[in-house]
Structure formats: C-alpha cells, structure tokens
Amino acid sequence: MVRVDGENNGRALIQVRNIDMKYRRGSEEIHVLQGLSLDVAEGEFVAFMGPSGSGKTTLLNLIGGLDTPTSGSIRVGGEEISELSSAELTAWRARNVGFIFQMYNLLPVLTAFQNVELPLLLTKLSRADRRRHVEAALSLVGLEDRMKHYPSQLSGGQGQRVAIARAIVADPTFLLCDEPTGDLDRKSAHEILDLLTALSKEHGKTILMVTHDPLAAEHADTILHLDKGELVETVRTEARV
C-alpha cells in the first residue's frame, strides 16, 4: 500500500512524514520538498516521475540515507534515520539500501565479480560465503558467465545488471534506482525493467525507482508524480494487473 497523505497507521516499511528540504545557493534559498509525506509498504514497487528539477533525486537520496532533510521524519522499519549521524547513516545504508544509479556505477578497476562483492566486504561473511552470494546474485541477473569481465568489457545493459546484482547481493531492506534505464537503449532498458519487476514480484523486494520514461513507470505497482515539492498519485493504468 502506498499513501501520500501521511495518514497511514504506522505499518508501512518506509514512512516519510512532513519533510522539508531546502538548499542554499548563495543568498538564494531553494525549497525543493515542502511538507512531503509518503508511505511505502514492504514489497511495493513504486515509480516516481516528474519534471526535471522537481526533487526526485533529492527525495530518493533522503530515503536512502545519503542526505538528511531540513525538517521532518523518515522512518524505515521503525527506525528514525533523519536523526542518525553521518557515520551511523553509512552503516545503516550498508545494511538496508541497495543503490542503482544511472551510470558510472561500477568501479572500472574491479571485475564484475569484485564489484558485486563490494557490499559483502563490509560484512563478516567468509570468503566462501561471499563467493556463493555473489554467484547467486550474478546468475539471478543472468551474468554468471561474465564474472571475470571488467566493466569496460560489458555492454551498458550488462553493466547495469551487474549494478543490480551488487544492489541485491547483501539482501537489503529496499532498492533505490535513480533513472536506471536512462542511459540504455530500448531493448536493454526492457531487460532491466523486467529484472526489477521479477525482483519485486518473485522475490518480494521493495523498490523505489525514479524515471522519466512513462513506459518504464508502467512496470511499477504505483506511479507517483512529484511536482512543486509535492507528491500526487497517478491513476493506475489497469493494463498490466
């Protein structure tokens, strides 16, 4: 269940309450998010759309613990993250968030395997366990035969699939995708979206995705529009229920 009115009963996995986000640019103050509320239940696949500069990335960064709001509260699994220190947030991200960015996601000096392994290096897992998890994640995205390849030896779509494998390998609480298909051709984009849909439907992953592409947004359970700092739920196209 997704709500944008702040009236949920507290059972949602992600609860954003009344957050404000202001940026200072010199003397000018930019009010990006104003009193925004959002509830996302576990297992939801939510797409965010909206004009450029409307604050989509800002919202995702706040929910992902990359930044803290000027005011308001963000709870994930009951934990208030807007009050965590920067070091605490870092540790929290490692446990809870899988990030998939638009591009330049992977470390070029590491192989696909090593890139996917990165989040696991922060855990206490043994080398053998790490290997098992990485192989499972890479085969889930269909790249078990590309483990030793470097990012420069992969296509854009393959690179993004490696990024997805890395995002899910440590089994985070939810996934954040900021324009994951923004740099890809139609076909690759479709593969990625199918993959995300499968992660949502078959593995029950909670996914928050920003996109400019209405067709991409169609893959989500819910589409939200962000405009002038406020969220509006879009009427669902019932086509793909």
Partner 1 sequence: MKHLHILFGNLARKKVRTALTVGSFAVAMFLFGILVVVRLAFQAGVEIAGLDRLIIINRTSIIQPMPLAHRDRIQRVPGVTKVTFSNWFGGYYQNEKNFFPIFSIDTDSWLGVYNEFEVPPEQWKAFTEDREGAIVGEKLVERYGWKLGDRIPIKGTIFAGNWEFNLRGIYKGTRQQDDPTQFWFHWKYFDERKEFQKGMAGWYTLRIDNPDNAVRASKAIDQLFANSPYETKTETERTFAANWVKQMGNIEFLILSIGTVVMFTLLLVTGNTMAISVRERVRELAVLKAIGYSDRTVLTLIMLESLVIAALGGAVGLGLAKLFSLRGDPTGGILPIFYLPNIWLLYGFAGALVIGSIAGVIPAVSAMRLRVVEALRRV
Ligand X SMILES: Nc1ncnc2c1ncn2[C@@H]1O[C@H](COP(=O)(O)OP(=O)(O)OP(=O)(O)O)[C@@H](O)[C@H]1O
Residue the block writes with tokens 């297992």 = 43
Site map (CB under 5 A) of Mg ion, residues 40-79, x = contact? -----------------x----------------------
The rounded Cα 4 to chain-centroid distance in angstroms is 18
Which of 192, 21, 174, 32 has its CA nearest to residue 102? 192
**Is residue 66 close enough to count as binding partner 1 by CB under 8 A?**
yes
**Is residue 114 close enough to count as binding partner 1 by CB under 8 A?**
yes
Toward partner 1, which CB reaches closer, 87 or 128?
87
Toward Mg ion, which CB reaches closer, 53 or 204?
53
**Is residue 104 close enough to count as binding ligand X by CB under 6 A?**
no
Least Å distance between CB 175 and partner 1?
A: 13
Question: 45-49 and 206-210: which strand pairing?
Answer: parallel
Half-sphere exposure of 79 (CA within 13 A, CB side): 14
The answer to whether 13 touches 174, Cβ cutoff 8 Å, is yes
Half-sphere exposure of 240 (CA within 13 A, CB side): 11
**Is residue 214 close enough to count as binding ligand X by CB under 6 A?**
no
> Rounded CA gap, 4 and 11, in Å?
14
> Rounded CA gap, 201 and 74, in Å?
25
Torsion of CA 59, 64, 70, 73, to 10 degrees: 100
**Is residue 30 close enough to count as binding ligand X by CB under 6 A?**
yes
Least Å distance between CB 166 and partner 1?
A: 8
Among 107, 198, 215, 232, binds partner 1 (CB under 8 A): 107
53 binds, among partner 1, Mg ion, ligand X, none (CB under 5 to 8 A by kind): ligand X
Toward partner 1, which CB reaches closer, 18 or 102?
102
**Is residue 69 close enough to count as binding ligand X by CB under 6 A?**
no
Q: Which of residues 5-24 bind ligand X (CB under 6 A)?
A: 23
Count CB neighbours of 169 within 10 A. 24
The answer to whether 115 touches 107, Cβ cutoff 8 Å, is yes
**Is residue 241 close enough to count as binding partner 1 by CB under 8 A?**
no
Which of 119, 4, 1 has its CA nearest to residue 59? 4
- Residue ranges in contact with ligand X by CB under 6 A: 23, 25, 30, 32, 50, 52-58
- Residue ranges in contact with partner 1 by CB under 8 A: 57, 61, 64, 66-67, 86-87, 90-91, 93-95, 97, 99, 101, 103-110, 114, 118-119, 121-122, 166
- Residue ranges in contact with Mg ion by CB under 5 A: 57
